A and B are shown apart, each in its own frame.
Chain A
Amino acid sequence: MIPELGHFALIFSAIVALLLGTLPLIGAHQGRPAWIALARPATDVFALLVTFSFLCLTWAFVANDFSVVYVAQHSNTLLPIEYRISAVWGGHEGSLLLWMLMMSWWALAVRLFSKQLPDVMLARVLGTLGLVCFGFLLFILFTSNPFARLLPGVAEGRDLNPLLQDPGLIIHPPLLYMGYVGFSVAYAFAIAALLSGKLDAAWARWSRPWTTAAWVFLTLGIAMGSWWAYYELGWGGWWFWDPVENASFMPWLIGTALMHSLAATEKRGSFKNWTVLLAISAFSLSLLGTFLVRSGVLTSVHAFATDPTRGIFILIFLVAVVGTSLALFAWRAPSVGLGGKFGLVSRESLLLTNNVLLVVSCATVLLGTLYPLLIDALGLGKISVGPPYFDAVFVPVMVPVLFLMGIAPFARWKEASLPEIQRAVRWALAAAAVVAIALPLIYGEWKTLTALGILLAAWILFTAGLNFFQRVSATRGERSLLASVFSQPASFTGMHLAHIGVAIFVVGVAMVSTYEEEKDVKMAPGETVEVSGYSFTFNGVQAVQGPNYQAAQGEFDLSMDGRFIRKLNPEKRNYFSSSMPMTEAAIDAGLWRDVYVSLGEPINPDQPEGEWAVRVYYKPFVDWIWGGCVIMSLGGLIAMFDRRYRNRRKAGGKQA
C-alpha cells in the first residue's frame, strides 16, 4: 500500500512540475500576476510530494517490503538498519529518486531564500527548474520506477552490493547529487535572465551564492568519493580518471570557472555571455555525467546493470536541454552587450585566462572520456584512454592556473600595473622557491615535478596570506588586528581560504605521487615486512563474524624503530547473500602519512590460517588531498554568506 502511495505522489509531483514549468513562465511572459504567483505554492507542493514519495521508498526498505522489486534487489533482512536506509540510493532507480529529492529541495531553498528577488524573476527561475524536474520525473516514471511491484513477493532480498555497505556510501552520493543538481539552479538563473533579456549585475549577484553552494557540495562529494575509493577499494589510489569520476569532475571544473566569471560579471559587468554559457555548460555536463553513468556505454567501476532505453532517454533529454538553452542563448546574446572595458593586465584579464584554462582542461578531460566512445561508434575498434593521458594533459594546463591564482588577488579591476604586482609578490615568490628547493631535499630525493608542485603550493599560500594581511592592515584603523581580520568581507576571506585549500591539495598530490611506497608480498604468520621505516609484523588470520558476513581478519603489529605503534586489522569479508569477497583495508591515518595494509588472498585457499598475499603502503601527506578539498569547501561556504548577497536594498539593481 505504502509503495503505491509513493508512486502516486511521484505521478502527482510530475503533474505539479509540469504546471510549475509552464504557467509561471507563460505568466511572466504575458504579465499575468496570478500565474506568476503560482510559482511559490507550486514549488512547496512539489517539494512536499517528492519528499513524501522518497519517504515511502525509505519505509519499504526499513520494513523489508520485498514485494517491491527495487527493495528485493538491493536489501536483505540481515542488512543493518543504517545500510537499509542508504540502500535507498544504492541502485539506479533509487538514486534517481534521490536526485529528484535534492532538486525539489534546491527549488524550495530558492523559493525560501530569495525574498529580495522580483516575483517575475523568481517565477522564471522556479519555472525553469520545474521543467527540468518534469523531464526527470518522466524518466523515472517511464524507465526507472522504484516502486514497481514484484508479485508474488519474495521472502528474502538479494542484498546491497557489499562494496556499498560502508559509511562512505551513506554520504557520498547525496553530497555529489547536491552538487550536480545544484548547478541546475545556476542554470535556471541564467535561463531566467536570458528570458527576461536582463543580464545585469543583479542577476550575477543572485546567482553567485547558489553557484558557490552547488560547488561546495560537489567539491565535498568528489572528495568523499575519492576518499571512499582510497580506503574501500583496497588499491590505495585516490583518483583513477575513471569515466564516472571524470563525469563529476567536468562540472566541477566548469563550475569553478563559472564562480570566477560571475565575480567579474557582478563587479564589472564583464563576460556576461560567457557566464551564461558556462552556467548552461555546467548543468549540461551534469546531465552528460548522468548519461555516461546510467547508460552503461563506458567501462567503469560505477556501471550498474544497464538498460539501453534509459541511455536513449537521457540522451534525448540532454539534447533537448542543451538545444533549447543554446537556441535561447543565440537569440538573446547579441542584445546583451559588452561589459566595461579592461586592460591587458587587469583582474578581468586574469580571471578570463583562468576561465579559458579551466574550460580547456575540462575539454581535454571530455575528449579523453568520450574518445573511446567515438572510436567505437565509428567502428575503428575498442580502445581505452588511460590515466597517463589525463596526467600528461591536465597537469601542464593546471600549472598556469595555479600560478595565476597567486597574482590575481593583487591585480586591480579594469587596469592593473604589472610592476606594482611584481613588487607586491616578489618576496612571496622567493620564499616559495626556498621551500620548494628545501622540502624535497629534506625528504631525501630530488624530484623536479614534486619541487614544482611544492613551489606552486607555497606560492599560493604565501601570496594568499600576504594579500589577506595587506588588506587587513589597510582597513585596520584603530581596531585590534583580530577585529580587523574578522571584519573582512566574507567573500574575500572565503576566497583566500579556498585558495589555501587548493595549495594544501597540491601539496598532498605532489608528495604522495612521488614518495609513496607500495609492496605486494607473501607473508607467513610471524614474518615482518618493512616499508619506509615502518615494520609490519603479521600475526596471522582469524575468523570473525559480522552481522551479514563472515570475515578473515588479519592482525598486524605496526612498529617503527622497534617501537610498537598499534595493531592493524584488515579484513577479507564474505557476505552471505552474495558470492563476492570484499577487502577492508586497515589504515593508520596521520597528518604526515598514512600506512595502509590490505589482505589479498590466502596463498593456499585450503589453509587460510597460513600464508597470505598482503599489500602494504606508505603514503605521505595523502590526507592533505581530502583536507585541501574540505578547506576549499569551507572557503566556499564562508563566501556564500557574504552580507552583500543578503542586503535587500543593494540587491535591487545598483550597477557596479
Chain B
Amino acid sequence: MKSRHKKLALIGGAIALVGIIAALVLNALNSNIALYISPTDVAQGKAPQEKLFRIGGLVKEGSIQRQADGVTIRFIITDSESDISVDYVGILPDLFMEGKGAVAQGRLLPDGTFKAQEVLAKHDENYMPPEAAQALNDAHVRGVQRQAEEEAAKAAQPKASY
C-alpha cells in the first residue's frame, strides 16, 4: 500500500511538472516568436501591427542617414522590389554596410517606418543571412516572372494587331 502511494506521488509529481513546463514553453513560444516578413510583404500591408517581426534584405546604397543626435540611424532595407525605411537607435554592428545583406527585428510604426530594436550582425563579409537571401531571391523570381509576362504580353500584342 505504502509503495503504491509512493508511486502515485511520483507519477502525480511528474505529470504536474510536465504540465507546468508545457505551459511555460507554450506561453513563451507564443509571445516570443518573430516572423520573417519580406520588404515586399511589408509594403503590401502583410506585416503584423502590434507584434515584433523581422525583415531581411539589402541595405540600399546611399540610404544610411545619421540623425542629429548622432546615435539614431535611418536606412532602407530593400529586396530590390520594395523599400522599407528603418530607424535604429544605437551602434550598428561592424559589418553593417550599404549594399550588404542585413536582418532587423522590431515593429512597424503607423507611418510605415520600421522601428528596429536589433540589427543582426553577420560575422563574415561573404556570408548572407539566409532570410535576407530568401527575400532577395523571391523578389528576383517575381521580377523575372513579371518580365516574362510583360514580354509575353508584348509578343502577343503585335500578333493581335495583325
List residues of A whose CB falls within 8 A of some B CB: 161, 163, 233-235, 296, 299, 301-305, 343-344, 356, 360, 364, 367-368, 371, 381-386, 388-389, 392-393, 396-397, 520-522, 578-583, 598, 600-601, 603, 611, 613, 615
Chain A to chain B: the 5 pairs with minimum beta-carbon distance, closest first: A522-B70, A382-B36, A600-B91, A392-B28, A389-B32
Are B121 and A389 neighbours in the complex by a CB distance under 8 Å? no
Q: Which of B10, B90, B121, B131 contacts A520 (CB 8 A)?
A: B90
A385 touches B33 (CB 8 A): yes
Cα distance A385–B54 when bound, in Å?
11
Binding site for A on B (CB under 8 A): 6, 9-10, 14, 17, 21, 24-25, 27-29, 31-36, 52, 54, 66, 69-71, 89-95, 97, 103, 105, 120-127, 129-131, 134
Q: Is the CB of B28 within 8 A of A580?
A: no
How far does the Cβ of A384 sit from chain B's closest Cβ, in whole Å?
Answer: 5
Known A301-B122, A579-B125; 15 more pairs at CB < 8 Å: A161-B123, A163-B123, A301-B123, A303-B122, A304-B127, A305-B127, A367-B25, A384-B54, A385-B33, A389-B32, A392-B27, A393-B25, A397-B21, A520-B91, A615-B90
SS class, residues of chain B in contact with chain A:
mixed
Q: Is B32 in contact with A386, judged by CB distance below 8 angstroms?
A: yes
Given contacts A580-B95, A583-B94, contact A299 B123 (CB under 8 A): no
Bound form: Cα–Cα A586–B151 in Å? 58
Could you tell me the distance in whole angstroms from the C-beta of A235 to the nearest C-beta in chain B?
A: 8
* Residue contact B92 to A601, C-beta cutoff 8 Å: yes
Q: How far is the CA of A598 from the CA of B123 in the complex (A)?
A: 17
Contacts of B21 in A (CB 8 A): 360, 364, 393, 397
Cα A368 to Cα B28 in complex, Å, equals 10
Secondary structure dominating the interface of A: mixed
- B117: shortest Cβ distance to chain A, in Å? 10
Tell me which residues across on chain B come within 8 A of A364, comparing CB atoms. 21, 24-25
Question: Cα distance A356–B15 when bound, in Å?
Answer: 12
A354 CB to nearest chain B CB (Å): 13
> Known: A360-B21, A581-B94. Is A389-B28 also a contact (CB below 8 A)?
yes
16 contacts between A and B (CB under 8 A): A299-B131, A301-B121, A305-B124, A305-B127, A382-B131, A383-B35, A384-B33, A384-B34, A384-B36, A384-B54, A385-B29, A385-B33, A393-B21, A397-B21, A579-B125, A615-B90
Closest B residue by C-beta to A523? B70
- A360 near B17 (CB under 8 angstroms)? yes
- In the complex, what residues of B have CB within 8 A of residue A396's CB? 24
Chain B residues within 8 Å of A360, by CB: 17, 21
A298's nearest neighbour on chain B, judged by CB, is B130
Rounded to whole Å, the gap between the CB of A526 and the closest CB of chain B is 15
Residues of chain A within 8 A (CB-CB) of B71 are 520-522, 600, 613
**Are B124 and A234 within 8 A (Cβ)?**
no
Distance in angstroms between the alpha carbons of A611 and B27 in the assembled complex = 45
Which chain A residue has the least Cβ–Cβ distance from B20?
Answer: A396
Shortest Cβ distance from A375 into B: residue:
B33
Compute how far the CA of A371 lies from the CA of B35 in the bound complex, rounded to whole angstroms.
12
Q: Which residues of B have CB within 8 Å of A233?
A: 121
Q: How far is the CB of A243 from chain B (nearest CB, A)?
A: 12
Tell whether, in the assembled complex, residue A521 and residue B70 are in contact, meaning their CB atoms are under 8 Å apart: yes
